Chain A
Amino acid sequence: METCRYACLSGEHSLSRRGFLGGMAAGVASLAGLATPALGKQLEKDQKHVLMIYLSGGVSQLETWDPKPGTPTGGPFRAISTSVPGIQICELLPHTARQMHHLALVRGLNTAENEHGRGSYIMHTGRRQEPAMKYPHLGSVMSKVLGAEHTGLPGYVHISPGGGGGFNKQDAAFLGPRYASVTLGNGKPPENLLRPQGMTDQAEHDRNDLQDRVNQRFARSRRTAETEAYTHSFEQAKQMMARKHLFEVEREPTRIQERYGKHDFGRHCLLARRLIESGATFVKVSHSNYDTHYENFEYHIEQLGEFDQTFATLLDDLHQRGLLKHTLVTVVSEFGRTPTINRNYGRDHWSKAWSIALAGAGIKGGTAVGKTNATGTAVTDREVNGGHVFHTYFRALGLSSTRNFYIDERPIPMADPKAAPITEVLA
């Protein structure tokens, strides 16, 4: 067994308004030299969004996107037809199967990393870990290049299962804390986000006005990336306070809530849709847990039983609301699971041949790219890695994937230059 990081439930990561603001101001990296204006011009007129569904622990590709029924590695589940003739997926995803015309499957992923943390890093950054360089998460990158400032929401929102929550400045790496992720534990807004009871509108206004004037005076003489990040974060907190209703998924009609499912993942995906509909740039929803070394099949029945209807509803809802064409959806894990079934009916970590699913903005729905052999142990056609996936994200969003970030005039490619887009899944 390799170590595994699950949703942090510790109180020390609980996010308070003070912590939120303080965190935003702390530890900022240099922003000098970042080529932002040109990137912004690449965007189409309509705001683009990214929705990442992260299946924590490593979902089994054999129980989802690349079933191998009737083989020694296939397990007990059958393959079912989908809305796209010729593409079959596992019977545990009957609702998703009906949305296949929106989905593109990448079945030839080989990320060559079987450890949770390093696998997660690849799927969040498109790079392997390097001792001398930390790369920003996709959410941080998108927060920067898609422009989140006007949304009044954090550029990178992570809706996690369980409690807690927090500000994760390390996710933004050299982009700086302005682009860090904010974790909403169990879909709850940051604690103490709302102003104290008893404070009047006028008092709140006066307080903010005083703060603005002090900030401006300070910035005139000692403007730094830290002060900018602090000012940005405070402004963002104020805007979030004004939009606290976004977190109240119970405002949705009962029918909608029931379609999404009244479990946590259903509620979290409904919140994700509300956030995206309200302009959020990047939303990640984690679903836990798929690290099924024991009783893989029992657990996939349970976890995918939640995932399937909710995810299918989310896709359909985004489509019906006209949001899907502007929203890139990606369903990923840190890796897949071993084709070999262990003696405890489990599957272990497997990164040599696994699958992800894409949908939405810039994606050609109803496609399946890449093949694995009969038992799913190796990629036999169109092998790709995390770098290819990142290039594909950029291109799907209408962005060049070969541009650079700059740190002190040092160019840092936005996506791994050794990889290229998976053009077959691009619209």
Chain B
Amino acid sequence: MTAPARTTAPALDPLDVAKTKSVKDLKYSSPLIGGRLDPSGKYVFVSAQDNTLQRWDLATGKNVPYSGHSSWVRTLAFEPRSKTLFSGSYAGEIFAWPVEADRPQPRIKLDAHRGWVRAVAVSPDGKTLASCGNDHRVCLWSLPDLKPVREFTGHLCHVYNLTFTPDGTHLVSADLKGIVKDWEVSTGKLVRDLDASILYKYDKGFMADIGGVRSMAFSADASLLACGGITDVTNAFAGVGKPLIVLFDWKTGKQKLLLRPKNAFQGTIWGVAFHPSGWILGAGGGAGGMLWFWKPGEAQSSVELKLPTNARDLDLAPEGKRLAIPFADGMTRIYEIPTK
């Protein structure tokens, strides 16, 4: 899932990332797919394989279900001013929900895409929502009414992810084949393509595509764009490949670093985030779960934290201290990163 760009969080320095630990376990009955901490810090929202969203109150542990989608939801995004949550489902729906409600019902239901909605993102000014999906479309919708504004045409395969630049002037979308497109929001004009094709492979033995940009985030100063996924795939049907984050210098559009785990691991980077201090976090799954920490400027992870099972996503709270990871076993685990 796409992580929202962080613009206001204070730096935590020095961090003691090696002592990152789970501080709260929130158990749900169905495996989870995606998750986001709400901007107020009060809740974590996760999506599950029973088509529901679940809102957990981080202080009380109280759970409120959000029901109504007719398929799985991978992507969540907030518009903090109106306290609205947007969710995109594999049935092509985008729903707008109240963040705070005892019995939440969708404010708006939009048939947005043909096939899966892969990602949604709210612009920094809160005036638009962007979405992308398996119909190869990247769409911009007005807020709060979700009326179509424009489409960004150019992807030739499933569009897996998107995010706004922190200043909101550009929209960046990325697809199955690792093509990253930089769009000018005001005109819809394609500015350039960035190459993350290292995250894609056509497996000739299996006769299928594998990979794609599974996670995406901007650094707060917009100097870096991170795209996570899987690379060096040797067996597509078993997902035998290595996690990788492609780090772009956003100004030049060139790859700056390829971030790899220090120790061998088989799987995919399902969530990526920039810590305000400069650390880059990645969470993944495959042969188990893992949370990696990369120091700024280093290609090999410095710290690795073994997770109980496959991580399906990652979100870092604005203050940079807490992070939320939804898991394949139905657990949402809240972790804290201590300072030294």
Contact = CB atoms under 8 A, between A and B. Distances in A.
Contacts of B239: 293-295, 344, 346
A341 B207 contact: no
A9 B50 CA distance: 41
A148 B164 CA distance: 64
Contact of A341 (B31, B70, B286): B31
B209 A302 contact: yes
A383 interface: no
Interface string B191-213: 00000000000001111111000
B49 A72 contact: yes
B30 interface: yes
B205 A6 contact: yes
B206 A288 contact: yes
A289 interface: yes
A294 B209 contact: no
Given A76-B90, A344-B285, A293 B71 contact: no
Nearest to B70: A78
A1 interface: yes
A294 B207 CA distance: 14
Contacts of A301: 115, 134
A322 B322 CA distance: 67
Contacts of A302: 208-209
Interface in B10-33: 30-31
Given A303-B208, A343-B328, A76 B237 contact: no
Contact of B91 (A75, A78, A291, A293): A78
Nearest to B287: A344
B310 interface: yes
B301 interface: no
Contacts, number: 69
Interface in B62-104: 70-72, 90-91
B332 interface: no
Contacts of A343: 31, 285, 309-310, 328-329
Contact of B206 (A77, A289, A341): A289
Interface string B105-119: 000000000011000
A6 B209 contact: no
Contacts of A288: 206-207
A247 interface: no
Interface in A274-322: 288-289, 291-295, 297, 299, 301-303
Contacts of A293: 237-239
A177 interface: no
Interface string A133-155: 00000000000000000000000
B90 A291 contact: no
A185 interface: no
A162 B210 CA distance: 18
Given A6-B206, A78-B71, A302-B208, A292 B237 contact: yes
Contacts of B31: 341, 343
Interface string A319-330: 000000000000
A4 B285 CA distance: 24
A165 interface: no
Contacts of B51: 70
Nearest to A295: B239
A57 interface: yes
Interface in A26-80: 57, 70, 72, 75-78
A291 B49 contact: no
A76 B208 contact: no
A161 interface: yes
B30 A76 contact: no
Contacts of A9: 204-205
A294 B237 contact: yes
A292 B71 CA distance: 20
Nearest to A287: B207
Contacts of A162: 204, 207
Interface string A385-414: 000000000000000000000000000000
Nearest to A292: B237
Nearest to B233: A294
B236 interface: yes
A138 B50 CA distance: 41
A289 B237 contact: yes
A245 to B, nearest CB: 28
Contacts of A292: 237
Nearest to A70: B51
Nearest to B327: A343
Interface in A349-388: none
B71 A76 contact: yes
Nearest to B288: A343
B329 to A, nearest CB: 8
A138 to B, nearest CB: 24
A289 B50 contact: no
A141 B199 CA distance: 47
Given A76-B71, A288-B207, A343-B31, A294 B91 contact: no
Given A293-B239, A295-B210, A299-B236, 5 more contacts: A291-B237, A301-B134, A341-B49, A343-B328, A344-B267
The 5 closest A-B pairs by CB, nearest first: A294-B239, A343-B328, A76-B72, A76-B90, A343-B310
6 contacts: A76-B49, A289-B207, A291-B237, A292-B237, A341-B31, A343-B328
Interface of B: 30-31, 49-51, 70-72, 90-91, 115-116, 134, 204-210, 236-239, 267, 285-286, 309-310, 328-329
Interface of A: 1, 4, 6, 9, 57, 70, 72, 75-78, 161-162, 288-289, 291-295, 297, 299, 301-303, 341, 343-344, 346
